[in-house]
Structure 1
Amino acid sequence: MEPFLLVDSKRLDGFEDLHQAVHGSHVDVMQLGRGRLHGRLSHVGIGDFSLSIGAFNVGMRTQRVASDDKLIIGMLLSAQERVAHWSFDMQLNDVLVIPPLVEHDGVFHGASAYAAVRFDLNEVVPLFGGEARLSDPDTWRSRGHFRADTEIGAIASRRLVRIMSHLRTHRGALTPATANFWKRSIVDCMAANVMSSLPPDDEGWLRSARRLIRRVEEHLEAAGNRPVHVSEICAALGVPRRTLHRAFQEVFGLGPVSFLRHKRLCAVHSILRDSAPGSVTVSAVAMEQGFYELGRFAQYYQAMFGERPSQTLGGATLLMEGDDVARAQLEG
């Protein structure tokens, strides 16, 4: 059964609009600051999985009753004044864990923006697989607060906003074929902040790098042409990301994220090279391979192949014309 896909965005025109601050979960809201509330609330829904990003201009009190059986992981994207959830004073890009069936109480003292991911606890293993602590459902059964690393938190926050902006603008990029990739991309932003707050993994367990790489390549081969997120590989192979990173650095001299990007660039190149102009567009092919920042994609592409994507696509016409000339000469 295909997952239910939703991309929705609306302007906020009153605190009542924030009752759906987290997609699929009712939130009781009371306005604290003076003035008419306005802002924006956006949702991405993939089955029972959702990402919500909201921004508003006045102080707010939020409460969630204990009837929601889904896990919610939130991140503070911006705040002009103090923000507190339960007894936790939140700083920029901090991550908050609201377990299933647990009441929540938050106070935003001024204009703020947040992101919240909501999904079933049963999805923890497939989404966080490979990271033993994160893939253990017990890790998420207690409310928690993870202090963001300054650099990692800023990157994760910007990435979440870019993903939402991209899907809001290019709704067609969220398809059943790419749904798993986008879910993992979203969760990965939250996981980055959580992992940076946890103590280092001291297991010291590392498989043979080349043997591990071969398993990765077998997984990529089985996936076909769809984009594959690095967290999917960790889950499928049951290895932590840092183990995967060491293996790729040893074998290729670059990390798995760069490797997968190069592989997706190669897939785009092959599709463009073999397609006639007018039959596909560069943007459509790029988005099918998981590139949601088309300007950056074009930079990556030209740096890797020494030509623009449109030149590769246009080259298909030149090749066909050359074949026609050669055929005419042979027949003549």
Structure 2
Amino acid sequence: MGQFLLVDSRKLDGFEGLHQAVHGSHVDVMQLGRGRLRGTLSHVGIGDFSLSIGTFNVGMRTQRVSSDDKLIIGMLLAAEERVAHWSFDMQLNDVLVIPPLLEHDGVFHGASAYAAMRFDLDGVASLFGGEARLSDPDTWRSRSHFKADPESGAIASRRLVRIMSHLRTNTEGLTPSTAEFWKRAIVECMAANVMSSLPPDHSSWLPSARRLIRRVEDYLDEAGTRPVHVSEICAALSVSRRTLHRAFQEVFGLGPVSFLRHKRLCAVHSILRESAPGSTTVAAVAMEQGFYELGRFAQYYFAVFGERPSQTLGIAALRAQRAGIARA
């Protein structure tokens, strides 16, 4: 495992396993439903940031004491029956905010699944940068419930589970730059559901689209070949996600996510073309550039370049072979 990625995944055999329902935070648990508890619990730690995803098959009562000084933001991924946290009735993909040093009380009336990320409150300014309401630490000092949009919430939930799955099976670890990208990708899933329940923000000033695009491209040039998440750009340039989206649509006819994906695809293409035979794999390069679904990555790659990534990597081998023949 790389220095910046810690992974722990286990099957649950009894409710006691849920005492560590959130990585780094102790939770008091009482089983409410009948039957032997079965489920799974997975943690991914990226530095001081963690993501936990748990599933269980019977009703549970959960309580957290007020000794944890980290911010916890959770999402309800699945529920067969009612789920309530404090006085909030949770629906699928809703987001719950548990501020630091605040006691928490939750009841799952049946089989459920959840995701929870835990990090320092000071980190919101960076991770939620560009959205004034979300990047302000005061926003997260009170317990809150954000109702998810049914469509976008389901997309965010599936994406979060896929990210966990791929990070869990990554055996090569993460570099500091890719660790930052994956943190932001996880945060983005929950932020999408938070933003969908907030009233529209009409106070943003829309700069000249082309001037903003130039600033973004200058920032990307300084970042070099490492993957850059949209939220990182928003934080660095102090611009909202909506403003950034409008600028990219005006200039390129596509959103910033699509633009950054194309840029990352180009980075993969260049790395594969210049790689020495046997020095790397398509999967390793794709993961390094933030692609965690290799099948979809291959589709994107072929659509853009008209060749499979393995063919691009083969060009480097062929070039090296020809060079060896020429020297012989």
TM category, shorter: over 0.9
CA deviations over 1:54-100 (Å, ceiling 9, x no partner): 00010000000111111110000000111000111100000001111
Identity across matched positions, percent: 83
Distance 1:255 1:61 in 2: 43
Q: Structure 2 matches for 1:246-285, cutoff 5 A?
A: 246-285=246-285
Does the 8 A contact of 1:174 with 1:182 survive in 2? no
> How far apart, CA to CA, are the structure 1 residues paired with 2:66 and 2:233?
34
Query: TM-score if structure 1 supplies the norm length?
Result: 0.95
Residues 1:146 and 1:3: Cα distance change in structure 2 (over 3 Å) = farther
| 1:129 correspondence with 2:129 | yes
Q: Secondary structure at the match of 2:269?
A: helix
Q: Secondary structure at the match of 1:117?
A: strand
Size of the aligned set, in residue pairs, is 327
Contact 1:15 1:30 in 2 (8 A): yes
Query: 1:104 — aligned with what?
Result: 104
Partner of 1:45: helix, strand, or coil? strand
After TM superposition, the score normalised by the length of structure 2 is 0.96
CA contact (8 A) 1:57 1:110 kept: yes
Gaps of 5+ in 1: none
Counterpart residue number, 2:153: 153
Q: Which residue identity lines up with residue 94 of structure 1 in the other structure?
A: D
- How far 1:323 sits from its partner (Å)? 4.9
Task: Show CA shifts across 1:24-51 (max 9, x none).
Answer: 1100000000111111000011222110
* SS in structure 1 of the partner of residue 135 of structure 2: coil
State the partner residue of 2:58: 58
Displacement of 1:173 after TM fit?
Answer: 4.4
Mapped contact 2:4–2:173 kept (Cα < 8 A): no
1:310–1:231: structure 2 CA closer, same or farther, 3 Å change rule?
same
Displacement of 1:177 in angstroms is: 3.1
Deviation at 1:135, TM superposition (A): 0.5
Q: Which consecutive unaligned segments of at least 5 residues does structure 2 have? A: none
Distance, in Å, in 1 between the alignment partners of 2:85 and 2:305 is 49
Give the Cα separation in 2 of the matches to 1:318 and 1:123: 47
User: Does the Cα contact within 8 Å between 1:7 and 1:171 map onto a contact in 2?
Assistant: no
CA distance in 2, matches of 1:305, 1:257: 19
Cα distance in structure 1, aligned partners of 2:280 and 2:228: 22
In structure 2, the partner of 1:144 is 144
2:15 corresponds to which residue?
15
What's the C-alpha RMSD, in Å, of the aligned pairs?
1.5
Matching residue of 1:182: 182
